[in-house]
Each structure stands twice: as structure tokens, then as C-alpha cells.
Structure 1
Amino acid sequence: MHDLVLDHDLRLADAGVRDRPFRLDHMARRAIGARTARLAVRSLYAELSLYPKPGLVSLRDNGSHADMTAETFMRSMFSLRHYFARITGAGMDGASFAALAGLGVAAEQRMLGATRGINTHRGAIFGLGLLCASIGACHARGGVASADAIRSTLVSRWGAALAAHARPQDLDSHGLRVRARYAVGGARQEAALGMPAVFDVALPALRRALLAGRGLRRARVDALFALMAHIGDTNVYHRGGADGALIVRQHALDFLAHGGSAAPDWEARAEECHRLFVARRLSPGGAADLLAAACLVNEATGGAH
């Protein structure tokens, strides 16, 4: 029933109602929140289950991590399912960034309780949470949540607050200390700029591979390697410093230069990269979070077909 109400509202939006004052009823709001939360959790699972995935935890092995397993990630995902629905609803309500951040802090505490203190999804709580809020805001205006609409909504609604949030005064996390030392970006700066790594790097790579008929697995591998080649990953800098970051970027660029997942030996190349990253304890966790974000946008906008 909820899906029927949601479909009805989206058909009205397509017919031009988006230009008029628009108010979603309670059932439509619940349907949008539940669907968006499902897509967010499914996107986190898509990232977890992907393999080969250099240095990262998968269903196959723990990558470069001694403190977390796929089970840890599954417990974390389960703890976040209501958060994604709540922050989607907050986006529908036009909530301030402070309100969104409050939901994120509470979600992080639930995550840490579920994982016994292990940080599995802090970056995803931030990034996917903002995308869920943006999707909710798009629907609240009566429009369909296209990739361009999600991105522009993120910037117009919360861009100024995110820009201020990207310049914290304290250095109370690994990511902030890495930013200060190596002058690289991070999740906060990425969000303040409208998530260019998601919309300009990962999503196009994902969709190119899908249009070429290579399927979701290979498309996600291509998107992950595109991200590793493009971003300054604070997780990598924390573990491997500038030398480790250079290794990640060079191997990602080499994989893509040889055709990415279109190359006949793509899987062997990706597995070789995985073994190297594990040996050097490198883990591109920031790229993993951005991959999950790209998967969410792709599915929320109907691009997975």
C-alpha cells in the first residue's frame, strides 16, 4: 500500500505538481523514508559484498583490518536502518544541518554499541545520511529525485553549514589530523562541495560500465578504482602516509589504464592489488564510503537498470 501511495505522489510530481505548494501525507512520507532507508542499507551491503576490493573488508576476507570482519559490518548496518529513514524524514521537513548532525551523532553511538566500539560506518553515516536527507527534500518539493536534483539540493539546503563544518577548530579524529598534516580533503570538505567524487567520478564510472553491459559487480569495481585514483583518502594517509597514498593512486590508475573491468585479466589484476594493499596495511575506507554513496544515488535515481 505504501508503495502505491508513493507511486501516486511521484506521478503527480511528473505531471507538474512540483511547481505548486506540495505536502506529502503521512503514508507517503513513511513510504519514501522506508524506501530510501532500504536503498541506503542495500548500498552499504553492495560495498561490503564486493570483491576484489583492495585492502577492504569483504565477505571473502578482512582485508587490511585485524579489528573488524564482515559480521561487524552487518551488525553496524542493522543498527543504522532506522537512522536512514529518520534523516530522510528530516530532509523532508527542511531540517537544519545541526538537526541532521544530531541524528548522525545518535546513529554513530548506536553503531559503536552494535560493533563494540569499532568504527565501521562513521563516514557512511555522514555521507549517506546527507544524501538521504537530500532525497527526502527533493520528494518534499514534489519532484523526482534525479542525481542533479539530489546534488543541487544538498548544496542549496546545507552547503553553507557544510562549508563551515569543513573548517573545524579542533583535531580530535584521525581524519582531521591527517588533513592538517598532509593538506588533503576528507568527507566534510567533499560534502561541502556537493560530493564531486560521487557525482563526477564514481557515478559516471559506474554507469559507463553498466551501459557497456558489464554488470553491477564490475561496474562497482570500476567505480571504486576510479575513486582510489582520484581522491585523497584520509584513511590511506592515516595508515600509510604520503607514500601509501601514492601507492594506492598509482595502482588504481594502472588498473584503469589497462581497461579496468573491461580487460580480460581485470579480476587477477584487482586481486593482485588487494594482496599488495593487505601486505602494506593500506585500506581506502574513504573510497569505500563514496562507492556506497554512488550506489545509493544510482539506485535512488533508477540508474541500476
Structure 2
Amino acid sequence: MTAARALDARQAHPSQARAPRSLDLGAIAASAVDCLLLEVGTWPKPGLVSHVDSGSHDDMDAGTFRASAAAIAPYLHALVEAGADGCAMGRLRVIGLEAEAAMLAATAGINTHRGAIFGLGLLCAAAGARASGRVAPSLPLGAVVSRLWGRDILGGPVLLHSHGDAARRRFGAGGARLQAARGFPSVYEVGLPALRRGALAAPGNAEAARVEACFALIAALEDTNLLHRGGLAGLRFARRAAQNFLDAGGVGQRDWLAHARAIHAAFIARRLSPGGAADLLAMTLFVAAQERTSP
């Protein structure tokens, strides 16, 4: 069953009066799930799980990510509806915690999509707010997140058991909260331009365009997942390797696949995994789909 069909099967709005709205919001949520599946269906992503291998991870594979995406699908739909209904950040947090519990139940306790539940979930809520007319239809989704929930995002409770928050406190990194409160600048200033650039460099190869975007995000991002696994040295190595790939021409270089595979192998050897970049890649794909900014 596809993500969209699975999501439709969970719809609980039989009223004919609400059907058009429900279908519109359901399509937004199904798009978000599809973007999670596109992320795991991209290879090579340095150190990250894909349909080809498990990268730097011994406890998860592509099947784990697919099960996780299916488990959180109804909660992404609930976040779209919450945004359409004008819910405050407190309600979004409750849905997010429910989504995380469903993820952990589906993966036997493995954290596959905690960062995506947060970031992509907020973008889903923003898309719902925009679809309902609560904000101008021309307003970028990142700007909607910042405008409606930015202050509450920064003022929310600290996740004491999050590796990302632990790395942020230890190294003074910005982390996912700051990204969200500022409207996801890495999506708009890094991810989307790289996705377009990759599509032009490798016409007809959507996976290559996603690889380009992933490398660009790794090069630019102060990824707390990398800080957790490799410290400052690991973060610097990862960013330098990704930037070298881009400077050599990215997916436009003749031997781009061999170059990307070599970097992937180097990340695995160092047990590095840029999970923040993976989350932002899924968010970039979602924004591209919702704002029609993809090539």
C-alpha cells in the first residue's frame, strides 16, 4: 500500500461537508510521507541509511525507516489539520510526542525520524495554515512557521535525552530549534538552490539532484548529530569532505558517483552520520513540492 493510500485509509472525516478540505489536507500529509521515503531512497548520502546500505548504523536499515514513515503518517496528517485549525504550539507538541511514541513502537525503540517529526511536522502545520487561508498563500512555509510559532519554538521545554540537544549544549551549536524559529534558512538558502543546481547538472536524474542537496546541507550545516558522534573534529571533517565534493563540480562532475561513494565510505569508517542534513533534505523536498520550486 502506498503512503498516500495508507493515509487515506486512516481518514476519519465521513462528513460530506468537510470532504474537500479533508482531501486537500490529506494530500499535503501524503506528500510529506513521500518525501521521507524519497530521502531514504537516495544514495549515496555520506554515512546515512538508504535503500542500498545502512551507512554508519548497525541498528537500522531502509525497512526501519519505511516502517517509521508509515507509523507517523497519521500524525503528520494531524499536524496539517492542527495548522489549518489555528492550533498553538502546545497542541503541535502533543501531536509530535504522539508521533514519536508511534515511531518508537514501530522501530523497537530506534530513533529514525525524531528530527523530521519536529521540522517536517512544523512545515506540515504551516502548509495546513496556508491551505486554510489563515496566512497569505504566497507566504513561504518557513516564514509561516517563524511567524506563527517561532517564539514558542525557542521557549519550549528542553529534551534532556536528545543527542542533538546534548551536543547543542556542549558545543554551543544552534540546532533544530533555531533553524525552525528562523524559518528553516538552510532549506531555502542551501537545500532548494542545491536541488535546482543538481537537476540542471544531471538532467533526468532526480536522485542525483537529491544527492547534490544532501552534500550541500552537510557542508553548510552545524549538524548536532555529527557533533554527537564525532565532536568538532568529526563535524569539520564532514563539512570539508562535502564541500570538496561540491567544489569538484558536485553531481555535474563526470565521476561524481565514485567521488560520492568514497566520501560515504570515509564517513562510515569514522562512524559519522549527518542526521540533521537528512531531516533537512526531506524538508527541502517537501517545500519544493508544496511551493512548486523544484525544476
TM-score (normalised: structure 1):
0.87
The reply on whether 1:121 has 2:113 as its aligned counterpart is: yes
Partner of 1:273: 263
Partner of 2:44: 52
> Aligned ranges for residues 129-140 of structure 1 at < 5 Å?
129-140=121-132
The reply on whether 1:71 has 2:71 as its aligned counterpart is: no
Secondary structure at 2:267 match in 1: helix
The reply on whether 1:159 has 2:150 as its aligned counterpart is: yes
Q: 2:179 aligns with which of 179, 190, 209?
A: 190
1:159 Cα deviation after fit:
1.1
Secondary structure at 1:67 match in 2: coil
Provide the C-alpha distance between the structure 2 equivalents of 1:90 and 1:194, rounded to a whole number of angstroms: 18
The CA deviation string for residues 151-191 of structure 1, in whole angstroms up to 9 with x for no partner, is: 221111111111223xx557332111111111111111110
Of 201-210 and 241-250, deviating more is 201-210
Provide the C-alpha distance between the structure 2 equivalents of 1:128 and 1:72, rounded to a whole number of angstroms: 18
1:145 Cα deviation after fit:
4.9
Partner of 1:85: 77
1:142 Cα deviation after fit:
7.1
Secondary structure at 2:140 match in 1: helix
Partner of 1:10: none
1:303 Cα deviation after fit:
3.1
Contact kept? 1:33, 1:84, Cα under 8 Å: no
1:35 Cα deviation after fit:
0.5
| Structure 2: unaligned runs, 5 residues or longer | 1-16
Compared CA separation, residues 285 and 170, structure 1 to 2 (3 A): closer
Compared CA separation, residues 239 and 294, structure 1 to 2 (3 A): same
Q: 1:221 aligns with which of 211, 216, 241?
A: 211
- The one-letter amino acid of 1:155's match is S
Identity %: 45
1:205 Cα deviation after fit:
1.1
Partner of 2:240: 250
> Aligned ranges for residues 224-303 of structure 1 at < 5 Å?
224-303=214-293
TM-score (normalised: structure 2):
0.90
| Structure 1: unaligned runs, 5 residues or longer | 1-24
Provide the C-alpha distance between the structure 2 equivalents of 1:115 and 1:85, rounded to a whole number of angstroms: 20
Contact kept? 2:202, 2:251, Cα under 8 Å: no
Provide the C-alpha distance between the structure 2 equivalents of 1:303 and 1:41, rounded to a whole number of angstroms: 18
- Superposition RMSD on alpha carbons, in Å? 1.6
Provide the C-alpha distance between the structure 1 equivalents of 2:133 and 2:201, rounded to a whole number of angstroms: 34
1:216 Cα deviation after fit:
1.6
